[in-house]
A and B are shown apart, each in its own frame.
Chain A
Amino acid sequence: MHNQIIKVLNAEVSGCNAVLTEATVGDSFITVEASSILAVCELLKKSNDFQFNVLQVITGADYPDRMEVSYILASYIKNLEVIIKVKLPRESAEIQSVVSVWVAANFQERECYDMYGIKFSGHPDLRRILCPDDWSGFPLRKDYVVAEVYNGMVINPAHKINTADHMFAKKLKEELGNPKLVSSSWKDAADTTEVKEGE
């Protein structure tokens, strides 16, 4: 089925460069060019062989050199499923919205924008959906750091963190003089890192 899709896509949609990644573990997926995603989706929905009439989910994934957006489509008529992936640059990630093909894309693209900062051009109402409207930062990016303060409220206030318990082992090591004698569930290299030994 995947090879058939690749043939049809490369034939009908010019410039889409559909490439199949066969997977030994898990699912195989098809990668296409970001600029041709709207044409690809329209073709997959309308074609009589596949009839992908339902868009299930649009997800993103953040890699060091790129941002990937996966479109997982399903055909409830022919009982098929396919994953279409698109690679975008990390800075200024922008892609065309597919709301005109499936209305289900509305909320899915809003969530992708909220979590990754990927802009979907042509979306009727692109604003944050799960985070508050004035939140700064895109949470699911790998380089996301939580802000210190939000609207005057301190995020992670110091009195709620059990610092005394975390520092117990460190104090014990200083008391005894020989740090090798103490084993603890909290590493004390920097004060509030929460990395544990024994994993």
Chain B
Amino acid sequence: MQTIQLKKPVTPDLTFTQWFKNVYNGVRTTVIGMGITFKYVWDVKPVTIEYPEVREELPENSRSRLFNDAQNCISCLQCAAVCPVDCIYIASVKRPADAEKIKTKDGTAIRLDLKQYTIDTALCCYCGLCTTVCPTECLTHTTDYEFSSYTLSAMKYDYLAPDIRAWRTRLVKD
């Protein structure tokens, strides 16, 4: 048998002065509250921005969509190793000894030809660990945040495809 004890609300007997005090308290606190509300109606500038006509500027190191500058990648596989969700797929082939010697932007020799560099953006958790370990800084976070798509397979970005390589003109400052 479970016994539930309800608490009888302990109110002192309601006298005349107490009744007026209650009314005064109620009105006073309501007036204070409404004063604050009206101040916000007349006095405070609205903080809403009218998206999509007005877009907010994200800070420069904002961690949104990734971009890999494939021509500067040396296939060190560090980004794939550190990724906590294993969303980076890389495959590369050793360049033959007699091939032309190519270098990255900052002078490191490129010894491997990148054949596959795909990031599954749907799996990516945007932690930024891959960008910190990239030795040539070819993998960076951009400030693009509007990239939803209709299918999951469209979320897999192949950074060797020409249409994604074309982003380089907008994103990379040489």
Contact = CB atoms under 8 A, between A and B. Distances in A.
Question: Taking the complex as a whole, does A directly touch B, i.e. does some CB pair lie under 8 Å apart?
Answer: yes
Interface of A: 162, 165-166, 168-169, 172, 176, 180-186, 194, 196-199
Contact of A182 (B78, B80, B92, B120): B92
A162 B92 CA distance: 18
What are the nearest 10 A-B pairs in CB distance? A185-B80, A198-B77, A169-B91, A165-B89, A184-B91, A198-B81, A185-B90, A181-B94, A168-B116, A199-B81
Overall SS of chain B's interface = strand
Contacts of B116: 165, 168-169, 172, 184
A196 B61 CA distance: 29
18 contacts: A165-B118, A165-B156, A168-B115, A168-B116, A169-B91, A169-B116, A176-B93, A180-B94, A182-B93, A182-B94, A183-B94, A184-B90, A184-B92, A185-B80, A185-B81, A196-B77, A198-B76, A198-B80
A166 B116 CA distance: 10
Contacts of A198: 76-78, 80-81
Interface residues of B, number: 20
Contact of A172 (B81, B86, B88, B91): B91
B86 A196 contact: yes
Contacts of B81: 185, 196-199
A166 B115 CA distance: 13
Contact of B75 (A162, A176, A183): A183
Interface string B68-91: 000000011110110000101111
Given A172-B91, A182-B93, A196-B81, 4 more contacts: A181-B93, A182-B91, A184-B91, A199-B81
B93 A168 contact: no
Contacts of A199: 81
A67 B91 CA distance: 42
B93 A162 contact: no
B86 A194 contact: yes
B112 interface: yes
B77 A183 contact: yes
B107 to A, nearest CB: 22
Contacts of B118: 165
Contacts of A182: 91-94
A172 B94 contact: no
Contacts of B92: 182-184
A180 B96 CA distance: 12
A14 to B, nearest CB: 39
Contacts of A186: 89, 91
A185 B94 contact: no
Contacts of A194: 86
Given A165-B156, A183-B112, A196 B80 contact: yes
A196 B81 CA distance: 7
Contacts of B89: 162, 165-166, 168, 185-186
A181 B94 CA distance: 5
A199 B86 CA distance: 12
A8 to B, nearest CB: 39
B60 to A, nearest CB: 28
Contacts of A172: 91, 93, 115-116
A146 B92 CA distance: 33
Nearest to B115: A172
